[in-house]
């Protein structure tokens, strides 16, 4: 889909569909009243007939005939009048979905009312949402339905400045760049969704390496190294390799590097959990819990896909993306309960649960990240614990950190990106749960506080580096469509990573 920006009057648009966001009662919106007047009162009459109140996801469609050059007019419900970034993103998705339903090839979307201060974020989020709303993972469906006809061109109109207009050179002059940014982030998020939704038969550790190489080919500023098992063994990554022992497919460690044109202001390293399928190992999951375990590389998908957007937008920082990819399966060679592993940093770890495997792969990946990239800031993203979902629900990621300043900065980036995250404690009182009678640590604590003990396990390997751990077990995948989020893999955290890396 091609996305363009124009400052021309939306009522002159000859698009197949003109979409107008509405918050609350449409009769209270001055722009809607102007459109209604042009249509001889038909628009508001239609809204009244359909009880359209501007609720999220509501739409009301009228056909102007000769009154306007567009083919149809749609009011798009946005909810209450407080426009959050997430709400603006949903507006773009709702508008796209109405356009697709009406088989519109061209869609004109009027930006929601914005001030000079909020113009850029509103424009970015609407464009991002339109791209996300267009997402479908249907490559394995034989017969595509007629309702899947995509919108070919979206034109965004920025003509609804509220209050004092900015001076020359002010915010609306940057709307074109903001829309391009939103489209880029939306595309990267869709790429992450594809990775998560792809069956594990095809999205395996080697294929993740191929995807990283394809991204690097697009950007001269990006390079990639893919390490095989022998190379990882030489580095002492015993915990990581042990998790993948049960699979016939070789494990891979992928390391992507972005370098800015000028001297980097700092080094930021993003690590993603890359278990491309998780059976639980000998701590075998029940079938109902295993069926969706292709999503256990959601952290990997987020960091790898975000690198594409970071390189497209540009960053003043040196950025590293690292993911240790493997399959956690059962075989005669698989990791056993009671095994003691030597981590890359020299720590010995007793395995008391083979389904607590993500922290084993991440522990070595975090050590590798510090030794090979010397980061000023270190992040990891993982579908790590069901306990995080128990604590925060299915839509919120848990954030753990050893650095107050970095945690605040990260949560601000997540808020700007419209992604739901919540700070969780690293309560040292629970660290005793990780004590082992035969090794330095065990890999699993007790039932209560499971997300915290997982974070404490990882903290051991980051030493004194400023670090943030994001447990995205809940929002990495959803079972129903809502706003700009489609069923299946969500691409969660891509937007926040790009926000933090490029602002």
Residues with active-site annotation:
285, 359
> Which 8-state DSSP code applies to residue 149?
P
Rounded CA separation 422/442 (Å): 27
Are 43 and 37 in contact by the 8 Å Cβ rule? The answer is no
**Cβ neighbours of 420 (radius 10 Å):** 15
Rounded CA separation 285/421 (Å): 27
**Cβ neighbours of 350 (radius 10 Å):** 20
Q: Which two tokens stand for residue 109?
A: 């979307």
Contacts of residue 226, defined as CB under 8 A and 6 or more positions apart, other chains included, come to 209, 212, 213, 252, 253, 254, 255
The upper half-sphere exposure of residue 180, i.e. CA atoms within 13 Å in the direction of its Cβ, equals 9
Sheet architecture: strand order including 17-22:
2-6, 153-157, 106-110, 17-22, 73-77, 59-62
Query: Helical H runs in 333-478?
Result: 358-373, 386-392, 404-416, 450-462
Rounded CA separation 497/310 (Å): 9
Are 39 and 62 in contact by the 8 Å Cβ rule? The answer is yes
Beta bridge partners of 96: none
Rounded CA separation 482/478 (Å): 9
The upper half-sphere exposure of residue 79, i.e. CA atoms within 13 Å in the direction of its Cβ, equals 13
Rounded CA separation 8/72 (Å): 18
Rounded CA separation 489/292 (Å): 10
Rounded CA separation 299/384 (Å): 9
First-residue to last-residue Cα distance in the chain: 26
Backbone φ/ψ region at 65: left (φ over 0), alpha (ψ -120 to 50), beta? left
376 CB-contact burial (10 Å; exposed 0-12 / middle 13-18 / buried 19+): middle
Rounded CA separation 430/318 (Å): 35
Sheet architecture: strand order including 348-350:
340-342, 348-350, 441-442
Residue 2, helix vs strand vs coil: strand
Contacts of residue 134, defined as CB under 8 A and 6 or more positions apart, other chains included, come to 1, 96, 100, 150, 151
């Amino acid at each position: 889909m091609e996305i363009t920006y124009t400052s021309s009057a939306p009522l002159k648009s000859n698009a197949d569909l003109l979409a107008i966001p509405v918050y609350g009662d449409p009769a209270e919106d001055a722009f809607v009243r102007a459109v209604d007047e042009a249509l001889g009162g038909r628009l508001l009459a239609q809204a009244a007939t359909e009880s359209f109140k501007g609720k999220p996801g509501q739409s009301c469609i009228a056909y102007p005939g000769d009154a306007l050059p567009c083919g149809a007019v749609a009011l798009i419900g946005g909810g209450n009048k407080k426009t959050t970034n997430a709400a603006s993103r949903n507006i773009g998705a709702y508008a796209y979905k109405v356009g697709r339903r009406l088989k519109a090839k061209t869609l004109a979307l009027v930006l929601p009312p914005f001030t000079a201060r909020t113009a850029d974020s509103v424009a970015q989020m609407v464009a991002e949402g339109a791209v996300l709303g267009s997402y479908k993972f249907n490559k394995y469906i034989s017969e595509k339905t007629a309702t899947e006809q995509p919108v070919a061109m979206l034109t965004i109109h920025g003509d609804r400045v509220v209050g004092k207009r900015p001076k020359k050179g002010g915010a609306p002059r940057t709307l074109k760049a903001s829309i391009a940014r939103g489209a880029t982030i939306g595309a990267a998020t869709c790429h992450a969704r594809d990775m998560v939704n792809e069956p594990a038969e095809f999205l395996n550790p080697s294929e993740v390496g191929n995807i990283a190489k394809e991204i690097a080919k697009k950007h001269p500023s990006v390079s990639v190294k893919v390490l095989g098992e022998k190379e990882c063994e030489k580095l002492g990554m015993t915990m990581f390799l042990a998790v993948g022992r049960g699979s016939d497919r070789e494990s891979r460690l992928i390391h992507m590097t972005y370098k800015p044109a000028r001297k980097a202001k700092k080094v930021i390293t993003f690590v993603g959990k890359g278990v491309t399928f998780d059976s639980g190992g000998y701590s075998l999951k029940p079938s109902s819990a295993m069926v969706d375990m292709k999503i256990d590389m959601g952290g990997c998908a987020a960091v790898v896909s975000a690198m594409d957007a970071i390189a497209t937008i540009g960053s003043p920082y040196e950025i590293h993306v690292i993911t240790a990819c493997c399959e956690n399966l059962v075989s005669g060679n698989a990791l056993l309960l009671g095994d003691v592993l030597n981590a890359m940093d020299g720590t010995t770890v007793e395995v008391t649960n083979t389904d607590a495997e993500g922290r084993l792969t991440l522990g070595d990946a975090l050590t590798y990240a510090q030794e090979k990239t010397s980061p000023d800031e270190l992040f990891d993203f993982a579908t790590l614990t069901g306990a995080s979902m128990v604590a925060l629900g299915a839509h919120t990621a848990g954030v753990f950190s050893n650095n107050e300043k970095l945690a605040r900065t990260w949560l601000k980036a997540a808020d700007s990106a419209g992604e739901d995250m919540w700070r969780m404690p690293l309560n040292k009182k629970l660290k005793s749960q990780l004590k082992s009678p035969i090794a330095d640590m065990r890999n699993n604590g007790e039932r209560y506080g499971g997300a915290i003990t997982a974070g404490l396990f990882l903290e051991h390997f980051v030493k004194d580096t400023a670090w943030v751990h994001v447990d995205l077990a809940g929002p990495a995948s959803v079972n129903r469509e809502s706003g700009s989020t489609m069923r299946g893999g969500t691409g969660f955290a891509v937007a926040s990573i790009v926000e933090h890396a490029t602002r």
